[in-house]
């Protein structure tokens, strides 16, 4: 059976990269005793699929994992079994059964919502964002290829503050293959150092 897990990635897991996260999930399943399916061949790999790589240091409440199991069990039982052996930093929010023939997760992602928290007080933060929103194009280079950052940003707006605290910006960026908007590039464009912020992934949008 193929299951889809929605989970959070927080705390120390923030600094676990995509491949290492994959490994953490494999070990979680191995601890659970649930029979994970493996690929054929000389170097069998566990059949696990992650929706879309979360950059190192980001937290998330909406990560998605597809796992193929060589068993059929009630979903609730599977969830309980896995939750009992989860490593710190991973929290399961939901689980569903997916058509085994369905398309791969990665191909379905369209856009992603991030919340950027500014740890430092930046007096002209609104003006800096204004410069971005009002520009038509933001040409940049990524690995020697030019692209337009502005076109990748679908929405951006500050989250209203109720009782002080750090300012937060919510952005929605494109996350299609070869058209991925990155929050750290927006920050760079705003002249803000990545390490003076916290970035959290709030939502992943899919093709219906």
Partner 1 sequence: MVITPAEIQTKLERILPTVQKPGRYTGGELNQVVKDWDSIETRLALVFPDIYDIGMSNLGLAILYELINHRSDALAERAYIPWIDMEAAMRRAGIPLYSLESKQPLSKFNIVGFSLPYETLYTNVLNALDLAGIPIYSNERDETHPLIIAGGHATFNPEPMYSFVDAFVIGEGEQVIYEIIDAYQEWKRSKSNRQDLPNNLASIPGVYVPSLYRVNYKLDYTVDQIEKLDDRANLPIRKRILPHLPPPPTHFIVPNIETVHNRIPVEIMRGCTRGCRFCHAGMVSRPVRERSVTEIIQALDEALGNTGFEEIGLLSLSSSDYTHITELVKAITERYYGIHLGISLPSLRIDTFSVDLMDLLKDSRHGGFTLAPEAATEHMRNIINKPVSTAQLLDTVKQIYSRGWTTIKLYFMIGHPDETLEDVKAIVDLCKAVLAQGHRAIGHRAKLNLGISTFIPKPHTPFQWMSCDTVEQIQAKQEILKQELRHRDIKLTWTDPKVTLLEAWLSRGDRRLADVVFRAWQNGAKFDAWQDQYNFDAWIQAFSDCHIDPSFYTHRNRTLDEAFPWDHINTGVRKKYLVKDFQLSQDFKTRSDCRLQCFACGILPTFADLRRVNPGESWTCPEVKSPMKEVANKSL
Q: In whole angstroms, how close is the CB of 92 to partner 1 at the nearest point? A: 15
Residue 10 or 110: which CB sits closer to partner 1?
Answer: 10
Residue 33 or 165: which CB sits closer to partner 1?
Answer: 33
Helix (H, G, I), strand (E, B) or coil at 1: coil
Helix (H, G, I), strand (E, B) or coil at 124: coil
Residue 73 or 176: which CB sits closer to partner 1?
Answer: 73
Q: In whole angstroms, how close is the CB of 147 to partner 1 at the nearest point? A: 23
Alpha-carbon span 72 to 161, nearest angstrom? 47
Q: In whole angstroms, how close is the CB of 64 to partner 1 at the nearest point? A: 19
Residues within the interface to partner 1 (CB under 8 A) = 11-17, 19-20, 23-24, 26-31, 33, 38, 43-44, 46, 56-57, 85, 87-89, 119, 194-196, 198
Query: Cα angle vertex 60, ends 17, 9, to 5°?
Result: 55
Residue 42 or 207: which CB sits closer to partner 1?
Answer: 42
Q: In whole angstroms, how close is the CB of 30 to partner 1 at the nearest point? A: 4
Alpha-carbon span 26 to 4, nearest angstrom? 14
Query: For residue 201, what are the β-bridge partners?
Result: 60, 114
Secondary structure of the chain: what % helix, strand, coil (to 5)?
25, 40, 35
Alpha-carbon span 114 to 200, nearest angstrom? 5
Residue 52 or 85: which CB sits closer to partner 1?
Answer: 85
Measuring CA to CA, how many Å separate 174 from each of 20, 113, 115, 171, 188?
25, 9, 15, 10, 18
Q: In whole angstroms, how close is the CB of 148 to partner 1 at the nearest point? A: 26
Residue 14 or 200: which CB sits closer to partner 1?
Answer: 14
The number of beta carbons lying within 10 Å of the beta carbon of residue 9 is: 21
Query: Shortest CA distance to 66 belongs to which of 31, 33, 107?
Result: 107
Q: In whole angstroms, how close is the CB of 84 to partner 1 at the nearest point? A: 11
């Amino acid at each position: 059976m193929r299951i889809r897990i929605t989970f959070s990635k927080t705390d120390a897991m923030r600094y676990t990269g995509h491949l290492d996260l994959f490994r953490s999930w494999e070990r979680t399943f191995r601890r659970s005793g649930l029979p994970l399916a493996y690929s054929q061949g000389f170097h069998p790999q566990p059949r696990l699929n992650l929706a879309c790589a979360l950059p190192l240091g980001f937290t998330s409440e909406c990560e998605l994992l597809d796992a193929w199991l060589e068993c059929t069990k009630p979903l609730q039982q599977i969830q309980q079994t896995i939750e009992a052996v989860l490593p710190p930093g991973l929290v399961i929010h939901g689980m569903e059964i997916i058509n085994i023939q369905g398309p791969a997760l990665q191909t379905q992602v369209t856009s992603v919502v991030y919340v950027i928290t500014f740890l430092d007080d930046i007096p002209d933060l609104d003006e800096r964002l204004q410069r971005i929103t009002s520009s038509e194009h933001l040409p940049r280079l990524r690995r020697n290829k030019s692209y337009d950052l502005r076109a990748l940003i679908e929405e951006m707006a500050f989250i209203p503050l109720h009782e002080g605290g750090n300012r937060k910006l919510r952005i929605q960026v494109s996350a299609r293959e070869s058209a991925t908007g990155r929050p750290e590039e927006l920050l760079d464009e705003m002249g803000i150092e990545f390490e003076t912020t916290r970035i959290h992934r709030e939502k992943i949008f899919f093709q219906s």
